[in-house]
Amino acid sequence: MKNNIVKQNIRTKYILALSVFVFTALNLTMVHLKVAKKMILAERFYGEPGAWIEIFLIALYGAIVVYYMHNPSNVAKWRKYTWGLFSVVFFSQLILGISGFHTFLMTAGKLHLPVPAMIIGGPIFRYEIGFMTILFLSTIILSGPAWCSHLCYFGALDNLLAKGKPEKGKIKHKTALKVTTMVLVVFGALIMRLSGTSYTAAAIVGGGFGIVGILVIIFVSRKKGKMVNCTSYCPVGTLINYIRFINPFRMYIDESSCTLCNVCTSHCKYDALNPEDIINKNPGINCTLCGDCITSCHAGSIKYKLFKFSPETSRNIWLFITVSLHAVFMALARL
């Protein structure tokens, strides 16, 4: 019986790895063949063979990541390093691009600010819905809040610096803070638009907003061991908290097995497993489905849910979608 479970586990890991490989490769191939601009970076340096080698390597990367993340006890570590790597790749390309190596830029010089709040403020200020908004909404439809656990170059820094044991107790005034910054960004962008503020001035305000986020990460998240920027400051995180329910994936606490021991509380950097969340049997609204907490529960009570699928199948489907998106973003996310 035990042998059968082990064999099935290994089979599932290989199936997942193969699925992520194929899905990532197909998506990147489509982008490569259908988009006129050279989106695959290696093509810009090594032509057509470079593009195919990069597609193969990125698909392989996705397969390896999902293979290891299939084991829930690897998730927190693998998520930290792969998400961190994504951020390093993104910012390295940006720094090289603005230092004169324009080949690294996607937009050939027309940069937008690498501040997540611009995903909300940008379209309001410009009165236009661009590619970024569509991409952002698509990821929420596909994988719910995974943007904030695997896909955002900025949140990875919050995750890296909020290390150590999270401080006990809920982040104070979290909801008031995040709703306030959200309102400030929405109305700030609208007022700047209506008052005819120049793009340069608006970019300075947006940049200032991003710098405050970095200071929050360095001085508050690091001290508290919780991702304070992502849970209490970033308006995109707030928006995702509320619209993520258009996606059917959920995380829940199994009432019949949970002993209310609260051990899992100290394994959530998103401040989503406070005692009241545990009593409610649902992680708080900040939950990004990251999965860091699963193995902290001695009773195996924290589970993924997708329609009527079993918790394991639900988790595997979520991993397949999320890691594939992460791999595709790794190849394409640059300004």
Task: List residues near ligand SF4 by CB under 6 A.
Answer: 116, 147-148, 152, 154-155, 158, 229-230, 234, 236-237, 251, 253, 258-264, 267-268, 270, 272-273, 278, 283, 287-293, 296-297, 299, 301-302
**Pick 83 or 104: Cβ nearer ligand SF4:** 83
Closest to ligand SF4 by CB, 154 or 329: 154
- Please say whether the dihedral angle defined by the alpha carbons of residues 208, 335, 320 and 58, taken in this order, is positive or negative: negative
Q: Which is nearer to ligand SF4, 22 or 263 (CB)?
A: 263
CB of 249 to ligand SF4, least distance (A): 11
- Smallest distance from ligand SF4 to CB 37, Å: 25
Residue with tokens 């195919």: 52
Length of the chain: 335
DSSP tag of 109: T
Rounded CA gap, 162 and 234, in Å?
Answer: 15
> Residue with the closest Cβ to ligand SF4?
155
Classify the phi-psi angles of 152: left when phi > 0, otherwise alpha if psi is within -120 to 50, otherwise beta.
beta
Compute the distance between CA of residue 285 and CA of residue 270 in angstroms, rounded to an integer: 9
Least Å distance, CB 54 to ligand SF4, is 25
What are the two backbone dihedrals, phi and then psi, of residue 252, each rounded to the nearest 5 degrees?
Answer: -140, 165
CB closer to ligand SF4 out of 86 and 147: 147
Query: How far from the centroid of its chain's Cα atoms is residue 109's Cα?
Result: 26
Taking the least distance from each CB to ligand SF4, the nearer of 18 and 279 is: 279
Q: How far is the CB of 116 from ligand SF4 (least distance, A)?
A: 4
Nearer to ligand SF4, 60 or 132 (CB): 132
Nearer to ligand SF4, 59 or 319 (CB): 319
- For residue 314, the minimal CB distance to ligand SF4 (Å) is 13
Per DSSP, 110 falls in state -
Q: At its nearest, how many Å lie between ligand SF4 and the CB of residue 324?
A: 18
Residue 249, Cβ density class (10 Å: 0-12 exposed, 13-18 middle, ≥19 buried) = buried
Angle (CA) 281-269-87 rounded to 5° is 130
230 sits in the region (left: phi over 0; alpha: psi -120 to 50; else beta) called alpha
d(CA 102, CA 125): 27
Q: Identify the DSSP state of 317.
A: H
| Strand (E) or helix (H) holding 251 | strand 250-253
Q: Which is nearer to ligand SF4, 206 or 237 (CB)?
A: 237
For residue 10, the minimal CB distance to ligand SF4 (Å) is: 25
> Quick one: 58 or 293, whose CB is closer to ligand SF4?
293
Shortest Å distance, C-beta 46 to ligand SF4: 32
Residue 60 C-beta: closest distance to ligand SF4, Å: 26
| Spatial CA neighbour of 118 closest among 110, 109, 126, 107 | 126
Count other Cβ atoms within 10 Å, centred on residue 210.
Answer: 17
Supply the Cα-derived Rg of the chain in whole angstroms.
20
